[in-house]
Structure 1
Amino acid sequence: MVTRDIRSTPAAPPRPTGSSSRGAVDSRRLPLYAPGEIDVPFVVMGSAEVIPRDTFWEEHSHPTHELLWNRRGASSATVGRRVWTITPTLGLWIPAGTRHSGWTPAGTWHRAAQFGVHAVPQLSDGPVAMEVTPLLRLLLDRLDTEELAPEARSRTEAMVLDLLAPARNELILQIPESPLLAPVVAAVRENPADTTTLAVWAARLGVSTRTITRAFRAETGLGFSRWLATARVQHAITMLARGEEIDDVALRVGYHSASAFGAAFRRITGLSPGRFRSL
């Protein structure tokens, strides 16, 4: 590995709905590196870990580009005010030197691949969701688990680089920064089943519904309803990835029926909840 792994007392990060344990949260502190600060000898190097307890990864950065995905379960990574959901089919490409933190629920089979900046072109200026296809997973597994001759390894690495492609749908939530929206954001992230309407929020905050809507659009690019649906789907994905029943998940993220939940889930992800859980 190119980074150190130091466990420390957790800084009480927010725990998403559906978190599997009421016990302590592991907190991992990693270094901050500039791009290429460490001259690594590899093109691609992978790692895998089944996460034993809910784990918060404090803000850090790598000297290498990083691809995150999961063999099992769903997790999240935060860059600035943006939160990406990571699944077995939807990974996240993080350019070298990009500061990010993460949340990985207990039981997640966490995968990561580091890419040397000397050998890999910059795929994007910032983080981008990536398609993790069955073929890409097989090739990355081959690099991690097989003793390959130099020529075979080079061919496999070249195929990996050729398969890296942005995802058609990305599960990203922009967190507003304005003090006006802070109570709304806190309530929804703590309890996605919160049923407070836009009109009620406006009355509580002493502003018009139009003011709240404008603020959400200015800071997130989404209206309140779409932002709320995205936040709920992010919570739901973690629960679905653990195998929880769709009807139960629907209720726990604020939908009165599985059909209403399914429609919202498809609008955000392009998949039905059942199809997502079968991937």
Structure 2
Amino acid sequence: MAAVTAAADPPAARYARTGADRRRLPRYAAGEIEVPFVIATRAEAIDRDTFWEEHSHPTHELLWNERGASWARIGGRVWTVTPAVALWIPAGVAHSGWAPAGTLHRAAQFGIHAVPLVSDRPAAIATTPLLRLLLDRLESPGLAAPARARTEAMVLDLLAPAEHELSLRIPDSPLLAPIVAAVRADPADTTTLAAWAARLGVSTRTITRAFLAETGTGFSRWLATARVQHAMALLARGEEIDEVALRVGYHSASAFGAAFRRITGVSPGRFRAQR
């Protein structure tokens, strides 16, 4: 598989210009179509790089993976979906997505009239082992109606925010555009905040304030998150940790591991094993 070329917006740009499987889905408003279920689940083994063009559902959606990492873009934010962290997308919210070959992709649709709103905005959800087991149970064709109702109620009780939100806000101001472009082109870019300030003709404080205003975090944290998000794409493909560390700008696997754990809550080795 070709290397991922965008850190701040993982493989979407590459998928748009290569032979990836491009899928077009309609846009629906929340509740535009009545559905006969409370929760409907599905699974798909992604055997080819896949890009879903922007769309929306009449139902709430929960996305997670049994294997590998995938991404969703909602407005100016890119979310990473893994076996441990799912993404809740409220009904009617437009989103696009992409997943590399080898991903085992899962999704659940929630009828909006039957399900209390977990969140009125996209949110990271912890996919605990119990939650995954219950969602798996809903796929059983012979599940009796009372058992299904109990299982669905337990699923709703277990939908809780994840401790680590694997998302990255993409700044869109002209001031920060060169920085975003550089990191997207090369996550190992070593240009410092002071060097960027000199290059752009502003103070470091101006850049810091702009990052805080647009992303809610400073330059260093944003850069580390962009690098880790890029690294997750490489690790999900099974690339070696030492090589990934170098490709995303870390001179040692230990420094990379510390940054990866700080942002994701797991080590690169554990994440790679989940692929």
TM-score > 0.5 by shorter chain: yes
The reply on whether 1:265 has 2:241 as its aligned counterpart is no
Q: CA deviation at 1:15?
A: 5.3
State the number of aligned residues: 264
TM-score by length of 2: 0.91
Secondary structure at the residue paired with 2:138? Answer: helix
User: What CA distance in whole angstroms lies between the structure 2 residues aligned with 1:49 and 1:186?
Assistant: 33
Q: CA deviation at 1:48?
A: 1.2
Percent identity reads 76
Q: Which amino acid aligns with 1:217?
A: L
Q: CA deviation at 1:145?
A: 3.4
Correspondence for 2:239? 244
User: What CA distance in whole angstroms lies between the structure 2 residues aligned with 1:106 and 1:179?
Assistant: 35
The runs of 4+ residues in structure 1 deviating greater than 4 Å are none
The reply on whether 1:89 has 2:93 as its aligned counterpart is no
The reply on whether 1:212 has 2:233 as its aligned counterpart is no
Correspondence for 2:130? 135
TM-score by length of 1: 0.90
Q: Is the 8 A contact 1:83 1:175 kept in 2?
A: yes
Q: Which amino acid aligns with 2:223?
A: L
Greater relative CO, 1 or 2 (CA 8 Å, sep 6+): 2
Alignment of 1:99-178 (within 5 A): 99-178=94-173
Q: Which amino acid aligns with 2:151?
A: T
User: What CA distance in whole angstroms lies between the structure 2 residues aligned with 1:33 and 1:60?
Assistant: 8
- Unaligned residue ranges in structure 1 (runs of 5+): 1-13
Q: CA deviation at 1:275?
A: 2.8
Q: Which amino acid aligns with 2:216?
A: G
Q: CA deviation at 1:153?
A: 1.2
- Unaligned residue ranges in structure 2 (runs of 5+): 1-8
Secondary structure at the residue paired with 2:48? Answer: coil
Q: Is the 8 A contact 2:10 2:229 kept in 1?
A: no
Q: CA deviation at 1:23?
A: 4.7
Q: CA deviation at 1:224?
A: 0.6
Alignment of 1:176-191 (within 5 A): 176-191=171-186
User: What CA distance in whole angstroms lies between the structure 2 residues aligned with 1:23 and 1:58?
Assistant: 14
1:23-67 Cα offsets, whole Å, 9 max, x none, are 512221111111111100011111111122222211111000000
In angstroms, what is the RMSD of aligned CA positions? 1.8
